[in-house]
Structure 1
Amino acid sequence: MFAPQFRPLKKFEKNIFRFFRTLQSTNFSSASSSKKFNFESENVLERFIIDRIRSTGPISVSEYMKLCVSSQYGYYAQKAKIFGDGEGDFITSPELTQVFGELIGAWLLNELHMTGWEGPWNLVELGPGSGALMVDVLNVLNKLKSDNKLNVYLIEKSAQLIKQQKQIFEQQLLNKQISINWFDSIEDIPEGFTIFISNEFFDALPIHQFVRNKEKPNIWQEVYIQLTSSNGSVEIDEEDGQILTKKHLCFGLSPGENIHTRAYIPQHIRNDLSKTKWEYSPLATKITLEMIKRFTTNGGFALIIDYGHNGDRKTHSLRAYSNHSIVDPLDCPGRVDLTADVDFGEIKRVIEGKCLIFGPVEQRQFLTQLGLIHRLDYLLRKSTTTEQREALLNSCNILVSDAEMGARFKVFSLFPNTLSEIIKARGGIPAGFASPLPHLEDEDLIND
């Protein structure tokens, strides 16, 4: 807390005060406001990050992601169109085809029946995005007459996305009487048998990035976001010499070990000299442990689908998407989607023994074993136009081909230890997690 009565304000403190007064007095949405920022010419969040770094020094990648993704002026709070073609920045599996959500719905219902549970149950989706996945899952449950004892809870903090989700539920749900409620966190969800699902949620959680020092391999440094210079660096068009962008932010490194390197980097990573770069998301671990605690106490299980790896990645994975293209993560903070691969290997290491763990397996394996090809064949025969057939083939090809989502996306499931005997009696694995299939070529899917 500043105390101007005891000492004069420094220049950067005055700038901070001036900036916060601007935030408090500015209306960003009302057309009748006397003063309104033009987001095309003034990036409020970038200005805040620059002033913060000037005031307190470089920030971690994790802190940068928190500000860019989930703050009041971050991506999910300000971006009107996030998912899908056209103005969206990226497409998730549910937006591609109904088949994805239908198979997920069939999977969770099958696993629910396998547990023997017949009472009321909760279905929780972490980061429901556009709401398309939940629509397809709930419509499957409705068609199978399995939604009468169900309560749906969505973990979502973005008011903008909640509005979109409510709209799609109103337009597309077969059973509009089903109970759907929104919460900020897992802790807020009522007790009860709970099934968790998430698709492209964990990849948006903040990460810390670390680099092994080349001269002193036993020393790790944290990647920071810092200022390029007092005036920023300028990118010039090579053809006409015009200024393209003025970059104020860049990556840097901590001078040596810090509180995060000491707290987060496990000994097995330090001992593996082939690992020179590493990423870690404390929040991903925390949320996973919260799910385990909930279904261990009340019954249930979890299914996680996301970009990721089994701990074998040796490079950093932070990237940004805008209009379906990869862009610089430090350009236009809050206006582009930030994402990083999920380290399922590290999550497994932390939760080992606390629950039953299956996967990660490739998405193409999971969906194909659940019957994607058979469902696709049925829908193709029901299609009445060439356009419908081509759209179905293209979308399913993206889901399972190695060149698209098939190999990059992983599927991970968690069950309470109390179900070990039940799962063992049915073959030792849940549906979709059997031995890997041979890699599919495009022709395997698209040929009639």
Structure 2
Amino acid sequence: MSLRERLEAQIAQAGPISVAQYMTAALHDPTEGYYATRPALGEAGDFVTAPLISQMFGELVGVWAAAAWQMMGAPATVRLVEMGPGDGTLMADVSRAARMAPDFLEAAEVWLVETSEPLKAIQQRRLGEGPRWAASLAEVPGGAPMILIANELLDCLPTRQFVRTAVGWTEQLVGLDRDGRLAFVRNPTPAAGLLPDAAEGAVYEQSAAQAALGALLGGRLARDGGAALLIDYGRDRAGFGDTLQALRRHLKVDPLACPGEADLTVHADFPAVMDAARQQGAEAVILTQAEFLARMGVGLRAEALVAARPDKSPMIGRQLNRLLAADQMGDLFKACCIHSPGWTPPAFEDA
């Protein structure tokens, strides 16, 4: 029985499930979930992330991490953590760039937080046995400052969806149509809780998982010191909209069409993440990806690459445009920094 058939049988017996529950099953079901069985990154896969677009992205994140360590007072031990490390390309680029600061690499204890066994195997082949792996951030030891990076992690965390109707907010659920197939349905009971005012038809997304991660990071950084850099596509202010999408072979498909066979994502809710972190005693600031990379010197890095390989100039120009242009990743993607009080990490000083 396929994952779709199992979900349909479950819903037929117990009733509709939330969008968050559906996302969790589609992405993480142990036998057929997307990340548990068939994550496909890169041009030949289902989607491409910034580290796969250009080495410049990961190199500048590595420069940022080393500079942040120095601004923290160069502690003798620092946990260098990546959550959701994909195929290991970002950490490989971070480590290569950080060679310019050998004392940082000496102090850094590298941890990769990964729940996907297929991706963990790919990471091990790329990075060797140097890093340590954990299934959750809670498994990474505390007691030392932490520098954490996460690229396109928040968008994979499950969210609930609510729709404003003439009688108030109601939750959008995943149920069955007349033919017994997966379909979006509305909960007949108005949603409880405090939801913002909005026009009829508005969709409001609420991710307890994203907020929980913000709180976890905020509490740990406030206690142990350090900084977290979260880069993702999403909003930097509260808003409305249905952002649930499924990608398969770089094309958008119906999110309910093939659970487990496509990557499901939603926009990162940075305001909720930042608020949760601040409530735990941390500080939080945000820039667009274009602003962050520009402040970290991506233009100079591109010039250096072109000088070294003039024949690659057109390709490097295309990569730079994709990372920075407002109609590409530059504005839609945000760089959010959560950090311990009393200092501001590089690039974010006047954000």
TM-score band, normalised by the shorter chain? over 0.9
Identify which of 6, 18, 29 aligns with 1:60.
18
Contact 2:233–2:334 (CA<8 Å) still a contact in 1?
A: yes
1:274 is displaced (CA, Å) by 8.3
Conserved 8 A contact 2:20-2:158:
yes
User: Which of 299, 322, 330 is the aligned partner of 1:398?
Assistant: 322
2:298 alignment counterpart: 372
For residues 127-171 of structure 1, what are the alpha-carbon distances to aligned partners after superposition, in whole Å with 9 as ceiling and x for unaligned? 11111111100111224312112111111111000011111114x
Displacement of 1:414 in angstroms is 1.0
1:249 to 178, 182, 194: 182
Which of these residues, 21, 36, 42, is aligned with residue 84 of structure 1? 42
Mapped partners of 1:434, 1:91: distance in 2: 30
Q: One-letter code of the match for 1:341?
A: H
Deviation at 1:271, TM superposition (A): 4.1
- Alpha-carbon contact 1:275-1:314 (below 8 Å) kept: no
Helix, strand or coil at the partner of 2:131: strand
* Rg comparison, structure with higher value: 1
Report Cα offsets for 1:89-128 as digits up to 9, x if no partner.
1000000111000100111111111111321111111111
Aligned length: 347
CA distance in 2, matches of 1:295, 1:312: 24
| 1:10 counterpart residue number | none
Paired position in structure 1 for 2:239: 313
Q: Distance in 1 between matches of 2:73 and 2:349?
A: 22
Matches of 1:220 and 1:362, distance apart in 2: 31
Name the structure 1 match of 2:285: 358
2:150 match:
198
Aligned-pair CA distance for 1:303: 0.7
Cα displacement (A) at 1:64: 0.3
Q: TM-score, normalised by structure 1?
A: 0.74
- Contact 1:196/1:291 (8 A) holds in 2: no
Q: Equivalent residue for 1:106?
A: 63
Q: Is the 8 A contact 2:233 2:268 kept in 1?
A: yes
144-153 or 322-331, larger mean C-alpha shift: 144-153
Amino acid at match of 2:235: H
Structure-1 residue corresponding to 2:269:
343
Aligned with 2:331: secondary structure?
Answer: helix
Quote how far apart the aligned CAs of 1:196 are: 1.1
Output the amino acid matched with 1:383. R
Shift of 1:384: 4.8
| CA-CA distance at 1:435 after TM superposition | 6.2
Q: Is the 8 A contact 1:210 1:222 kept in 2?
A: yes
**Amino acid paired to 1:398:** R
Q: What is the CA distance between 1:325 and its match in structure 2?
A: 1.2
Pairing 1:148–2:97 present = no
On the 8 A contact 2:37/2:118 being kept in 1, the answer is yes
Q: Which residue of 2 aligns with 1:442?
A: none
Q: Structure 1 counterpart of 2:159, which letter?
A: I
SS in structure 2 of the partner of residue 413 of structure 1: strand
The answer to whether the 8 A contact 1:292-1:355 is kept is yes
Deviations 1:276-311 (CA, angstroms, capped at 9, x unpaired): 321011111111211122222222111100011023
Q: What is the CA deviation profile of residues 61-104 of structure 1, one whole-angstrom value per residue up to 9, with x for unaligned ones?
A: 00000000111110012215x11112x11000000111000100
Alignment of 1:126-141 (within 5 A): 126-141=83-98
**Structure 1 residue 272 displacement after superposition:** 5.3
Q: 2:346 aligns with which of 419, 431, 436?
A: 431
Larger RCO, structures 1/2 (Cα 8 Å, 6+ apart):
2
1:288-307 matches, cutoff 5 A: 288-307=214-233
CA distance in 1, matches of 2:273, 2:119: 28
On the 8 A contact 2:33/2:260 being kept in 1, the answer is yes
Please say if 1:222 is aligned against 2:198. Answer: no
Q: Distance in 1 between matches of 2:126 and 2:316?
A: 21
The percentage of counterpart residues that share the same residue type is 31
TM-score (normalizing by structure 2): 0.94
Q: 1:25 aligns to what?
A: none
| Structure 1 residues 273 and 416: CA distance shift in structure 2, 3 A | farther
Match of 1:75 in 2: 34
Describe the SS at the equivalent of 1:352: helix
The one-character-per-residue Cα deviations of 1:21-51 (angstroms, maximum 9, x if unpaired) are: xxxxxxxxxxxxxxxxxxxxxxx11111111
Deviation track 1:311-358 (CA, whole Å, cap 9, x = no partner) reads 343211000111111111111110001000011122233333521111
8 Å Cα contact 1:308/1:344 also seen in 2: yes
Unaligned residue ranges in structure 2 (runs of 5+): none
The equivalent residue for 1:161 is 119
8 Å contact kept, 2:71–2:345: no
Residue segments in structure 1 that go unaligned for 5+ positions in a row: 1-18, 20-43, 171-175, 233-247, 424-428, 437-448
Task: Please report the RMSD computed on the Cα atoms of aligned residues, expressed in angstroms.
Answer: 1.8
Deviation readout 1:191-247 (Å, 9 max, x if unpaired): 221111100001000000011222x2xx31111011112x35xxxxxxxxxxxxxxx
1:51 correspondence with 2:51: no
The question of whether the paired residues in 1 share the 8 Å contact of 2:288 and 2:330 is answered with yes
SS of equivalent to 1:110: helix
Partner of 1:446 in structure 2? Answer: none
Residues 274 and 406 (structure 1 numbering): CA distance in 2 closer, same or farther, change over 3 Å?
farther
